[in-house]
């Protein structure tokens, strides 16, 4: 599978079948003055992710920011290689700082993947429930969405085609070993529903459009309901 355009200025550049089997879905936003990467894959596929950016006719050295949506290895393992190639700055939430900067194999789930993680510094540490930040010519909104991990975040941007939501790992799963809290996750999913996004870019399940967005999130809530 090759990298592809999802919407105007938004691309899928990584994931199983796109870069490496262990990678989450990695999304690229063309923010004009810079490129913004949403997650980095597990590490072994980082070179393929960079090559995919180039295959789209974009210069991978223009990646100015990399958003780590949470501290699991399949989302952060490629930070080191991508930062080396582009000099990008990393954005992540304080709640997952230990996983990213210390690299505890339990918090990163690296022990489950059998992949070594090289700890990386977070340049912009998000705190609180919501932060808006201008990157390039676009305003990115970072929403705290704890539950899967303590510092999980979602990101949305309002584009010409509507509201685009990067809701990585909406589907879970959950484990005490990395600090999951399913009740907090339920509240986070309600927050995402309230955003009324037109396009959902999920961490492993791919892309959902229109009514599929609400349908997918509600299906996950039902899947993990108390009933």
pLDDT digits (tens, 9 = 90+) for 127-184: 999 999 999 999 999 999 999 999 999 999 999 989 999 998 999 999 999 999 999 9
User: Per-residue pLDDT tens for 31-48?
Assistant: 999 999 999 999 999 999
Distance CA 214, CA 106 (A): 32
Distance CA 166, CA 170 (A): 10
Residue numbers of the domain that contains 46:
4-223
Looking at the DSSP bridge assignments, the partners of residue 10 are 7, 29
Name the domain count of the chain.
1
81, 43 in Cβ contact below 8 A? yes
213, 39 in Cβ contact below 8 A? no
- Domain of residue 209, CATH code: 3.60.15.10
Average pLDDT value for residue range 39-61? 98
User: In this model, does residue 79 exceed pLDDT 60?
Assistant: yes
**Is the pTM of the predicted complex or chain greater than 0.85?**
yes
pLDDT of amino acid 227: 43
């Amino acid at each position: 599978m090759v990298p592809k355009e999802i919407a105007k200025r938004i691309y899928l550049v990584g994931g199983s079948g796109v870069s490496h089997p262990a990678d989450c879905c990695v999304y690229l936003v063309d923010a004009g003055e810079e490129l913004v990467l949403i997650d980095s894959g597990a590490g072994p596929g980082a070179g393929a992710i960079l090559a995919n950016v180039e295959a789209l006719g974009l210069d991978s050295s223009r990646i100015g920011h990399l958003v780590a949506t949470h501290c699991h290895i399949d989302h952060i393992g490629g930070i080191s290689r991508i930062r080396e190639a582009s000099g990008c700055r990393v954005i992540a939430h304080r709640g997952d700082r230990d996983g990213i900067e210390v690299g505890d194999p339990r918090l990163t789930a690296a022990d489950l993947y059998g992949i070594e993680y090289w700890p990386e510094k977070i340049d912009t540490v998000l705190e609180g429930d919501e932060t808006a930040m201008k990157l390039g010519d676009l305003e990115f909104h970072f929403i705290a969405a704890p539950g899967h991990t303590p510092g999980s975040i979602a990101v949305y941007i309002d584009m010409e085609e509507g509201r685009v939501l990067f809701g990585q790992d909406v589907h879970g799963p959950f484990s005490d070993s990395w600090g999951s809290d399913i009740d907090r996750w339920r509240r986070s999913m309600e927050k995402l529903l309230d955003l009324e996004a037109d396009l959902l870019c999920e961490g492993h399940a791919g892309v959902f459009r229109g009514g599929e967005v609400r349908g997918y999130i509600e299906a996950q809530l039902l899947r993990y309901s108390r009933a």
